[in-house]
Amino acid sequence: MAHNSGGAGTPRAGAARKGGASVELYEHIVLAYLTNTPAFVFVSPQYSIQGDKGEWSCPDLVALNFRDRRVAVVEMSTAWNPKSLREKVQNRDAQWITRLRDQLRALNVIDDAWTFEVQLFVRIAAVPAISQHPPTGTAVKVTALEDLGAPWDWARG
């Protein structure tokens, strides 16, 4: 599995503060899902997209698929109604894509042949709301966390 785990074995520092062990579990599941093609995908947790005056945005993950020459901005939420994430997705090109494309080109990581997409991982109950994004702009793929093999509403002792 080719990925950068973000140190200390967790995909994102501070996950426990944001939602506890369940959020961290889902972040690990999403990371495993994204890197299931060995040697083709590199994932950077909390990749810093720079703006004019420093850090502009820090998506949960940025994934580079070297085989398909595709960059994915990856966000996940275990919220029932991820309103702030929906707002970011509606403005995805200004929020992430334009600056990230420019930054990766300037670093000679990608060239003009690379494509971009936004991948969202949310609870199945949030899929309809988060799927309402403008039809123009960078492609958006929405996946229910439960479809990755761990139901949100499993029985708790």
- pLDDT over 50 (residue 13): no
User: What's the mean per-residue pLDDT of the chain?
Assistant: 83
- The predicted model scores a pTM of 0.81
75, containing H or E segment: strand 70-77
Mean pLDDT, residues 60-81:
93
| pLDDT tens for each residue of 80-138 | 888 899 999 999 999 999 999 999 999 999 999 999 999 999 999 999 988 887 778 89
CA 17 – CA 22 distance, rounded (Å): 11
- By CB atoms closer than 10 A (0-12, 13-18, 19+), residue 132 is exposed
Tokens coding 1: 């599995």
Q: pLDDT band at residue 27, thresholds of 50, 70 and 90? A: confident
CA 126 – CA 132 distance, rounded (Å): 11
Of 19-28, 35-44, 65-74, 93-102, give the lowest mean pLDDT range: 19-28
Share of the chain above pLDDT 90, in %: 55
The neighbouring-strand residues paired with 77 are 122
